[in-house]
Structure 1
Amino acid sequence: MSGYFYLDVLLKLASEAENPLPVYVKGCIEQSLHRIFGEIGGHTTVDVLKFDEKRHRLILRVPEEFYVKLRAALTLIDKFQGIPCYFHVQSASRVLISLVDTF
């Protein structure tokens, strides 16, 4: 196995001001990890492999041992750049190719 988990995630914003940039989405997720689990517990690598600006969908990659923490951090995010939001995990898998049809 690859040692990673892959997640197909939808970012749902309360208002559509403008299309978010992937770097800001990643920063929002990392900030949530650090806020919830602290500097050591939340320190991991979260990679945005693909980002669809129009539909606000992204494919994330995270090491297996941080999968549960990432899901918790995504669940607890309630604002993106001051706009109320939520992240919805459409699907998750240890194999990236299984997410290709859903994206």
Structure 2
Amino acid sequence: MTDYSYFDIKIKLRDPDAVVLTPSLFRNCIIDSLDSFFCEEKFTLEIVKFCAQQQRVIFRVPQELHDMTCGCLELIGHYQEIPCHFQVLETSKTALDFEKLRGNEKNNEN
């Protein structure tokens, strides 16, 4: 049985209207970056939740790729040739959910 790491990511785009944000394009952006930095690996990345409006994605990778994925996310500077930054909101060894996290964020604001 494979253990997984879950990532809750927010993509911050310089010009959000200039890109198409879809699960497959997001996935390809991450996979291409992982491949370019660590070309000897075959990477598995599964989108668990996706919200184009919030520009957020929850995905999972095998636990042994956690550190490589964290390092790679910090180095990605473009999405569809538009400057961007990937903000890691949370990582976990258990499944993450937007709704649960949004509730926690509202509680922290009060």
* Corresponding position: 1:25 with 2:57: no
Paired residues for 1:8-87 under 5 Å: 8-17=8-17, 18-38=19-39, 40-41=40-41, 43-87=42-86
Q: 1:37 to 1:2 in 2, by over 3 A?
A: closer
Output the amino acid matched with 2:72.
Answer: A
Matched, 1:7 2:3: no
Structure 2: distance between partners of 1:73 and 1:89: 11
- TM-score of the aligned structures, taking structure 1 as reference length: 0.89
Question: Could you tell me how far 1:93 is from its partner in structure 2?
Answer: 0.5
**Which is higher, the Rg of structure 1 or of structure 2?**
2
Unaligned runs of 5+ in 2: 103-110
When the two chains are superposed, the root-mean-square deviation of aligned CA atoms in Å is 1.5
- Deviating beyond 4 angstroms after TM superposition, the runs of 4 or more aligned structure 1 residues are none
Corresponding residue pairs, total: 99
Q: TM-score, normalised by structure 2?
A: 0.84
- Report the equivalent of 2:107: none
Structure 1 unaligned blocks of 5 or more: none
